[in-house]
Amino acid sequence: MTLQDLLDPMLDASQKGFPHHSGPLRRSAIGSQGWNVLRGDLPLPLAVIRRDALAGNLTWMQGFASGHGVGLAPHGKTTMSPQLFQRQLDAGAWGLTFATVGQLRAGVAAGATRCIIANQVFRAIDLQGIDDLKRGHPGLRVAFLVDSLDQLALIEAWKATGKGTQPHEVLLEIGVDGGRTGCRTHEQALVLAQRLRSSPATRFVGIECYEGLGATGQSDADTAYAQALMKRVRDIALACDAQQFFEVDEILLTAGGSAIFDLVADHLKLKLSRPVRGLLRSGCYVTHDHGTYHRMMNSVAARMGCGHGLHAAMEVWAAVQSCPEPGLAILSVGKRDISYDLELPIPVGYRTQSQSAIAAAPGDWKISAMNDQHAYLRGSSDEHKALRVGDLVVLGISHPCTTFDKWRWMPVVDADYNVCDAIVTCF
C-alpha cells in the first residue's frame, strides 16, 4: 500500500454509506461534491463525524495534557484512521499508542515517529515486524509492554536467532488483581525489571499502567483506586531508579485511558534521577460519545471544578422503515453499524419528513434491542406515535471504538450536515 492509498484512497459504492449514484472518488474529493445528509444524498444507515466538535475535542484534550505538564500519546485503536492520526499529531501529540503491530504499521505510515504498543509483544513475527519497521524508518521509536519472565524468554529466544538488529525498547507493566495484564506485586515487578535491564534483547525505558478498567464514575471510589495504583507505580519507579535499572536518558511513565485520566495525570510527573516524560494514552476523546464517556466526563468536570470541552462528534443516522405495532418503530440500523457493547445506542434527535429542523429525541425514546440490520425504537410519547416510514432518527453512541470498526469511511459534516471532508479506517 502506498502512502496515497492510505491517506487518500479511492472510495466507491461498494462501501456502505457511499452514494449509489456516484462514481469512484478519492477521499480528498468527497468534500467538494456538495452532498448533504439531510437532503438524502447519502444512503442510510450512515455514521458521520461532526467537524466542529472534532476540532474542539482535539484542542481541549491537548490543552489538558499540556496544562498538566504531560504529553499525549493517543490510543490509535479507537479510530484506526490515518487522517485522525495526523490531526492528533498536528495538534501536538507526543506520539501514538497502538495495541498490535498491524495497527502500528498504519500509524507509522501516517507519520508517527514515536509509538507505544500498550500490549505484550512476544511472537517472533511481531518482534521481527517492529524491527523491520525501525530499519525502514530511521529514528522511529517503538516501546511495548512486558509483564513476565516468560514473555522476556520469548523475546530473548527471538533475539538469539540473530535476526534482531537492536534491543527492543520495553515498558514494565503494572497491573491490578482481577484486571488484565501487568505485574501484580512489587517484588515481581522488581525481579522482572532487573532482568530487563540485564537482557541483551531489551532496553528498559519506563513503566506503564492502565487504570481505565477500574473506573466507575463515582469520584470517591475512582480517586482512591487511582491513587493506590499510582502509588504502586511510583514506588516501583523509585526502586528501579535507585538501582539504576532504566537505560534511557528520559524515562517514560505512562497511564491514562479516556475515563479518569485527570486522576492519574499529575502522578506522571515523578522526580527521578533523570528526566521523566509523563504520557497520557487517552483515545476516545477524539469523538467522545453520548453514553459511557459522557457520564465519565461529567465526573471529571465536577472534580476539576469547571466544565470540559469534549462533545460527542459521532452520530449514526437511520430511517424509520416500519411501524409494525403501537409503541414500536423499526430503524434501518443494526449491530453491523453501531456500538452495542457497553450499552445500546441512544436516540438523540429526529426529523420527520415535514420538518426542516432536527428536534431533540423525547426522553421516553429508547433502543430496546438490535439485530444485525435492525434497531427497535420504543416510546410512548405523541412524538413517537407520529413517526412514519421515512422519518430520520439520529443515534448517539456509547464507546466510539466499536462504531469506528464498523465503517471503512465516514463523512465529516458541518453544522448544516453538508459533507465537507471524509476519513477512512484501517481495521
The pLDDT-based confidence of 104 (bands split at 50, 70, 90) is very high
pLDDT in tens, 377-393: 999 999 999 999 999 99
The pLDDT-based confidence of 2 (bands split at 50, 70, 90) is confident
CA-based nearest residue to 109, from 128, 126, 133: 133
pLDDT for 4 equals 82
CA distance 376 to 385: 14
Q: Give Cα 37 distance to the centre of its chain.
A: 25
Q: Residues 43-54: what's their mean pLDDT? A: 98
Helix (H) or strand (E) holding 106: helix 101-109
Point out which residues pair with 254 in neighbouring strands. 208, 279
**What percentage of the chain has pLDDT greater than the value 70?**
100
Instruction: Supply 211's cell numbers.
Output: 487504570
3-state helix, strand, coil in the chain (%, to 5): 35, 25, 40
pLDDT for 111 equals 95
Q: Residues 15-40: what's their mean pLDDT? A: 97
Residues 97/98/101/107 CA torsion (nearest 10 deg): -70
Q: What is the mean pLDDT of the chain?
A: 96
- Judge whether 424 and 9 are in contact, CB under 8 Å: yes
The b-or-e profile of 98-111 (16+ CB within 10 A means b, else e) is beebebbbbbbbbe
In terms of pLDDT, which residue wins out, 15 or 356?
15
- Judge whether 388 and 353 are in contact, CB under 8 Å: yes
**E strand segments, 156-250:** 168-174, 202-209
> 3-class SS at 237?
helix
Instruction: Supply 408's cell numbers.
Output: 471503512
pLDDT for 216 equals 94
The pLDDT-based confidence of 1 (bands split at 50, 70, 90) is low
Residue 307 confidence (pLDDT) above 90: no
pLDDT in tens, 324-360: 999 999 999 999 999 999 999 999 999 999 998 999 9
The pLDDT-based confidence of 308 (bands split at 50, 70, 90) is confident
Instruction: Supply 273's cell numbers.
Output: 534521577
Crossing angle of the two packed helices 82-90 and 101-109, in degrees rounded to 10? 60
Q: Residues 118-134: what's their mean pLDDT? A: 97
Residue 108's φ and ψ, nearest 5 degrees, are -65, -40
CA distance 311 to 185: 38
CA-based nearest residue to 284, from 342, 227, 206: 342
The region of weakest confidence among 165-169, 305-309, 361-365 is 305-309
The pLDDT-based confidence of 309 (bands split at 50, 70, 90) is confident
pLDDT in tens, 247-279: 999 999 999 999 999 999 999 999 999 999 999
